[in-house]
């Protein structure tokens, strides 16, 4: 976070979204009095050095990240010193857990005495809740409180200042493969910036696109990327389930390439131009010409035939999403249904197909509460980057990781120490 020179009440923030198809950097200015977020700059670059959250070509990825950062800095006319870095991939795991403590001391009595709950009590109970057994190659990325229970009173969001004998915290932990996170952070630091936080990309997208009402009354936020799909389930203001599927919009492109016997680039253009998530919304009488391959004569295909392939794969993705949602074990109705965001959500007629498939309300999630250059960044494809650029102000209160001890930063130091020992 950089303090703006223009006004001490405003902060400049940057976020870097590293996807398998594109890398996006967003720079915002947040007015702390009004909470208005102004977009100052945005930059993008194709991504070829990372797939499904795993780095495949480090130097290539660094160059691509730098291209996106430089473009955003040029537009914003400033230099970024710190940024929030987005991470995704099938290595991301979500866990629900809980911890409980006695409040204050008992003064030698067997009966606990009521005490006012302090910040220290909250930190202690969260430390206990996150004390789960993890493999040596994993670390906690986010500690996300769902609710607190004081004695028999539940559904408490902020227990500080209340009195009681026993405090319980129910939390959702998001864990990450340590090497995946440290490798990604080291690439970003090669750009000459400090990584001010590593954030689950699905969480960042939800910050940019969801309203408080949606989080309280129940909603599924789904960020459909190229090779991964991030899922977050909110209910009663807390995160109840997170998951990342190893499938995304690139699977549709691959299906088109195979079925129509065209190259991947041509298949992507065909999907965006002629594809419909609902085959019934496309016409069997409207044909388009396929590019000739390897000396073949040019062929024609109807939009309806193309859209059958698109629909089949999209239904599969939606079914996999709902399978994950069922693991959230929420018996109450998710009133606001599903919010689709990310590049894959821009597929034509996807909302209609999703509503039929999952039998819930569905909308496309665009970045909200944004001013400035919104004409260039209002698309869902930019949601994660915009959310990352708001994390230090609007997202950090979701996760008390900084306040309870940043486990991940500790893991990074351990990792760097090991590297020095071996090399």
Residues 272-284: pLDDT tens digits? Answer: 999 999 999 988 8
pLDDT at 135 over 70: yes
| CA distance linking residue 61 with residue 67, whole number of Å | 10
> Is the residue at 142 inside a domain?
yes
**Residue 110: CATH number of its domain:** 3.30.1490.110
* pTM metric for this prediction: 0.89
Domain boundary among the residues 150, 176, 202 is at: 176
**Residue 340: CATH number of its domain:** 3.30.420.40
pLDDT in tens, 183-209: 999 999 999 999 989 999 999 999 999
Considering the chain, what percentage of its residues have pLDDT values greater than 90?
Answer: 73
354 and 233 within one domain? yes
pLDDT in tens, 149-187: 999 899 999 999 999 999 999 999 999 999 999 999 999
Q: Which domain holds residue 220?
A: 212-364
Q: To the nearest whole number, what is the mean pLDDT of the chain? A: 88
348 and 224 within one domain? yes
Nearest by Cα to 393 from 6, 8, 14, 106: 14
218 and 307 within one domain? yes
Q: How confident is the model at residue 375 (pLDDT cuts 50, 70, 90)?
A: confident
What are the structure tokens assigned to 244, written together?
């990342």
pLDDT at 422 over 50: no
pLDDT in tens, 286-322: 889 888 776 677 789 999 999 999 999 999 999 999 9
> In the chain, how many domains are there?
2
């Amino acid at each position: 976070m950089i303090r703006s020179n223009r006004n001490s009440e405003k902060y400049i923030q940057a976020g870097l979204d590293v996807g398998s198809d594109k890398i996006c950097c967003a720079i915002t200015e947040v007015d702390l009095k009004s909470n208005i977020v102004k977009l100052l700059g945005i930059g993008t670059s194709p991504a070829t050095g990372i797939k499904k959250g795993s780095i495949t070509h480090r130097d290539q990825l660094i160059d691509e990240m730098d291209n996106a950062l430089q473009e955003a800095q040029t537009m914003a006319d400033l230099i970024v010193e710190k940024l929030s870095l987005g991470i995704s991939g099938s290595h991301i795991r979500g866990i629900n857990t809980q911890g409980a403590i006695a409040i204050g001391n008992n003064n030698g009595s067997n009966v606990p005495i009521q005490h006012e709950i302090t910040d220290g009590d909250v930190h202690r109970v969260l430390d206990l809740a996150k004390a789960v057994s993890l493999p040596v190659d994993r670390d906690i990325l986010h500690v996300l409180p769902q609710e607190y229970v004081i004695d028999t009173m539940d559904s408490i969001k902020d227990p500080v200042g209340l009195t009681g004998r026993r405090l319980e915290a129910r939390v959702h932990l998001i864990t990450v493969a340590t090497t995946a996170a440290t490798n990604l952070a080291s690439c970003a630091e090669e750009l000459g910036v400090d990584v001010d936080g590593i954030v689950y990309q699905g969480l960042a997208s939800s910050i940019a696109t969801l309203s408080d009402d949606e989080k309280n009354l129940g909603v599924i936020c789904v960020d459909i990327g190229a090779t991964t799909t991030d899922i977050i389930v909110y209910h009663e203001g807390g995160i109840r389930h997170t998951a990342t599927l190893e499938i995304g919009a690139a699977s549709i492109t691959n299906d088109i390439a195979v079925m129509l016997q065209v190259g991947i680039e041509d298949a992507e253009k065909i999907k965006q131009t002629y594809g419909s998530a609902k085959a019934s919304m496309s016409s069997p009488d409207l044909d388009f010409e396929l590019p000739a391959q390897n000396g073949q004569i040019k062929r024609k295909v109807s939009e309806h035939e193309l859209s059958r392939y698109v629909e089949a794969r999209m239904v599969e993705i939606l079914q996999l999403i709902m399978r994950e949602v069922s693991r959230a074990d929420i018996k109450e109705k998710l009133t606001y249904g599903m919010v689709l965001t990310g590049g894959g959500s821009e597929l034509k007629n996807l909302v209609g197909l999703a509503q039929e498939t999952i039998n819930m309300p569905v909308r496309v999630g665009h970045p909200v509460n944004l001013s400035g250059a919104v004409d260039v960044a209002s698309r869902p494809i930019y949601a994660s980057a915009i959310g990352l650029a708001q994390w230090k102000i609007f997202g950090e209160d979701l996760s008390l990781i900084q306040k309870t001890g940043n486990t991940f930063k500790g893991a990074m130091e351990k990792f760097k120490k090991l590297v020095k020992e071996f090399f």
